[in-house]
Amino acid sequence: MSDENKQSFNLEDELELNVNDNDVFHIDEGDNVKNHDNQWINELRLALERGCDLGSIRSIGKCRPLTDDLRLAVWKTCLDINDVNEYDYIDSDVFDLPEQSLIREDVVRLVRSLKINQDVEASKMSDIEAVITFYCKKYNENYAKGNGWIDILKPLITLEYKDRAELYELFANIRNRYISRCCEANGTPYHLFRLLLLYHDPELCSFFDTKKITPDSYAHIWVRSLYAGSCSLDVILHLWDGYFQHADQFFIFFLALVLLMFAKEKMFEMAGKEKDEIITFLSKAPSNLTIADLEDFCSLANHYASNTPQSFRKEFYSCLFDETDSSISQKASSIYQTLCLPVSAKELLQANQLGGTAGVRYFIVDCRPAEQYNSKHLYTAFHLDSNLLLEDPKEFGGTVDALLAAQKHAIEAGSTAGGEHLCFMGSGRDEEDKYVRMVVAYFLRRNIKYVSIASGGYRVLAKAIEDPSMITKAKPNTTKHDETSIGSTIKHNIVEKLPVINTQTTAFINMISSAVKTKSLEVRDKVKDYITNTSLTESTHPVTKHVSKEDKIDKLYRQKNQTSVFSLDGDDDDDEHASSSKQHDAPELVDIESWFLRNDMLYKYECEHFDEHNRTHPR
């Protein structure tokens, strides 16, 4: 962008990315679209002469801007327009639609705005009017002012098309392939865009909701015209060069996200302005784009696209782009009712099985009741009982903080359970999942981004799992003597999720395993204590005290003046007395095996002693 435009549209630091990592929209240094001697242009020209397909064009062109002499041929190939087949167009000079005068008025305004040579001006007007009229009759559509059709035709009439039939095919293919259905006010495309905005920037989405600014109020011309109604002619020609090569029908939404991120800082500065003033400013945002901006603009949009769950595309494709069904489908209706972006069970499983850092990585939060989670759950899922939110919302916040701490640990440990993207999962039964939606709403109110919900809940997920080892089950035949078996199972499960264990991670694991088998009140108390002590530990950086022969046996791993998170007996006074008098106490001899049978024993760890030569000794 120009320096003047950048003052109004500043991109946040968190959105910076290395565009060299993107295979699409990559422009090599020194590329100049006006230089006909560029090697890739010559290669592309030869490929077109031989009759190449979209894949070959994308491989050679890499979504780069095209030269004027190649643009028409490349666009036709990308739009699957084949000269061999007869065009689906019947030429006619009968212009008899009820809205014909409105069409003619808009056509005249368009042609004169482009300052076309007077020798061809009349024929261009006739071509455009004929194309619009035939399209209305063929698809039983009504032309309306501001519906984006004239804007789509603006860049097309600058091409060297051979006849009306070819112009019609270009227009019809762009409109049917890339322009969403139901683009009227409050239409489904705008609800989907709001879900994407909520996923990536809940704070900005909340700002718009508070101001009652809906996406259709500022983005309708973007969506209806594929940005042709908002950008200058030279910008839209170069933008469409890359857009058609990229061939992503949902890419329009990610470009819109980038525009909003450019405008975010200015939006917050305009918080005290009138709603209409904000809408006017936003709707004109694409007009600030220049050709020099397009590489970064498209690369950032591609970054958003790759950092978004992909299953929404399959979920909502039919209601946005399927021409065969003219009615609003059930899936289209679900867009209006969806609280946040849905993720399919298949995508959840594939994302965490693939591992690595590329693409979307999920931190799965199982919100089913505790007994259902303990009975059977996905081995990478963490538990958050949604009932706790109803019992005590204030204390629920502490539990959420602990969950987010677990997420951070999992990411840092490189665990398969770790991921920046939070996906909440219920049972799949509406009666129980209404509480899950309350939990999701809680996270969204805290402006936590990358929040999604698992479609169909655990019931659908369990059916999609082919590998039984991905399910963790409770140990059968639990007895009174081994009453912590479920807790131990969960403990082992979490250890697998967090392979890199430090002191605080171990403490967190112990807290979780103990809390799983307790009542919700005990869960809250333990989580609250853990958070308090963790904050204290991080601020003072004490050295952890380990076992020595001078310690009293019943106060292992206790710090001076530190409250125990997990002790089931004893009080603070006992701690102080033990700390002040331990040097006078003789070591107490006990039977270790008898300690393993104590009721207050949570877990035992088998240890080995390593000397200074790294040799092990019996414990």
List of the chain residues with pLDDT < 70: 1-37, 84-87, 323-333, 352, 354-358, 475-619
Tokens of residue 538, six digits: 């991080």
Global pTM? 0.73
**Which residues partner with 502 through β-bridges?**
none
SS3 136: helix
CATH of domain 3-11+181-232+246-334: 1.10.472.80
Using CA atoms, how far apart are residues 98 and 294, in angstroms rounded to an integer? 40
Q: Whole-angstrom distance between the N-terminal and C-terminal Cα of the chain?
A: 68
Tokens for 264? Answer: 């975010």
Contacts 24+ apart (CB under 8 A), 112-121: 114/154, 114/157, 114/158, 114/233, 116/157
Give the amino acid at 319.
C
Contact call for residues 492 and 501 (beta carbons, < 8 A): no
Residue 358 has a pLDDT of 60
* Alpha-carbon distance values, 160 to 68, 80, 164, 240, 276 (Å): 9, 18, 11, 16, 40
Residue of 375, 355, 380 lying closest to 493 (CA atoms): 380
| Distance separating alpha carbons of residues 411 and 414, to the nearest angstrom | 5
List the alpha helices (DSSP H) in 201-293. 202-211, 215-225, 233-246, 251-269, 275-283
CB 200 within 8 A of CB 420: no
Phi, psi of 73 (to 5 degrees): -65, -40
Q: Identify the pLDDT of residue 3.
A: 47
H/E element, 343: strand 341-343
Q: Residue 598 gets which letter from DSSP?
A: -
Where does the chain hold its CATH 1.10.472.80 domain(s)?
A: 3-11+181-232+246-334
For CATH 3.40.250.10, the residue range(s) in the chain are: 341-534
Fold of 341-534: Oxidized Rhodanese; domain 1 (3.40.250)
Taking the mean position of all CA atoms in its chain, how far away is CA 51? 38
Query: Would strands 471-473 and 609-610 be described as parallel, antiparallel, or unpaired?
Result: unpaired
With contact defined as beta carbons under 8 Å apart, do 617 and 529 qualify? no
Under DSSP, is residue 614 helix (H, G, I), strand (E, B) or coil? coil
Distant-in-sequence, close-in-space partners of 297: CB < 8 Å, separation ≥ 6? 255, 258, 289
pLDDT of residue 115: 82
**Do the Cβ atoms of 319 and 250 come closer than 8 Å?**
no
Helix orientation angle between 54-61 and 39-50, rounded to the nearest 10 degrees: 170
Summarize pLDDT for 507-550 with one digit per residue, the tens: 444 444 344 434 444 544 544 454 445 444 444 444 433 434 44
CA angle at residue 94 from 90 to 98, to 5 degrees?
115
Distance CA 519, CA 251 (A): 48
pLDDT of residue 617: 55
Q: State residue 466 phi and psi, 5-degree precision.
A: -100, -25
Q: What is the pLDDT of residue 589?
A: 53
